[in-house]
Structure 1
């Protein structure tokens, strides 16, 4: 018996529930890129770490720079209550997106993390935006 089969697989119902839950709180670079490139962006994309200078060097197209440390109920009230926020940070070595997602969820807001962050976006070969013009007021 291998390590793969040593622990029995979940039932299909349990597996479906598990993966549905994961997809309810996570998205990936390819899905975000597709939404942006097809003009189907029905979420607010937030770059949640770093300085304005770091953001200006490279960020995802259409992203707003709003570090998790600056997220407040007053600041988030500029968007409708049913807005979905997609947050990302530097990459798998960074927990800024997790911190932002937790903060937004505790404010009662819908949120997903974009897996991979900037590192994943680069690995996929997607183009970055540059410049300072996308701060979240």
Structure 2
């Protein structure tokens, strides 16, 4: 017996419930990229990092809203049923989770994209910037 199987795998019904529940809370970079590139996105992608980080590089189509500034007034333009997908720098950053907490407290549907910018780059997807062009 290995340390992998030392603890038995969960029964199928419990495993199914567990793994389905994970997808209620998060999505991945590939799925977001696919939805954005095929025009089938039915969510608002939020980059919740600071303004300098966003200006330097972000996902094309992302809206910038730092996690600390998520309040009802900033969300008023979005219908109540809007699903938000929050991302930050990467798996070492908890900004997306902080944003998700704020959105959930405001009664908004939310998922996080745990890989963030790091995961996006790891998948080979391009970033854009909003920095002024060098003269």
Tell me which interval the TM-score lies in, with the shorter structure as reference length.
over 0.9
SS of corresponding position for 2:113: strand
In structure 2, the partner of 1:104 is: 103
The 5 Å alignment of 1:1-137 reads: 1-51=1-51, 53-131=52-130
Residue 83 of structure 1 deviates from its aligned partner by 0.1
Alpha-carbon RMSD across the aligned residues, in angstroms, is 0.9
Q: Write the distance in 2 (CA, Å) between the matches of 1:54 and 1:89.
A: 10
Q: Write the distance in 1 (CA, Å) between the matches of 2:77 and 2:70.
A: 11
| Contact preservation (8 Å) 2:96, 2:114 | no
SS of corresponding position for 1:27: coil
Deviation above 2 Å: which 4+ runs of structure 1?
none
Q: Write the distance in 2 (CA, Å) between the matches of 1:59 and 1:118.
A: 7
SS of corresponding position for 1:93: coil
Q: Write the distance in 2 (CA, Å) between the matches of 1:108 and 1:3.
A: 42
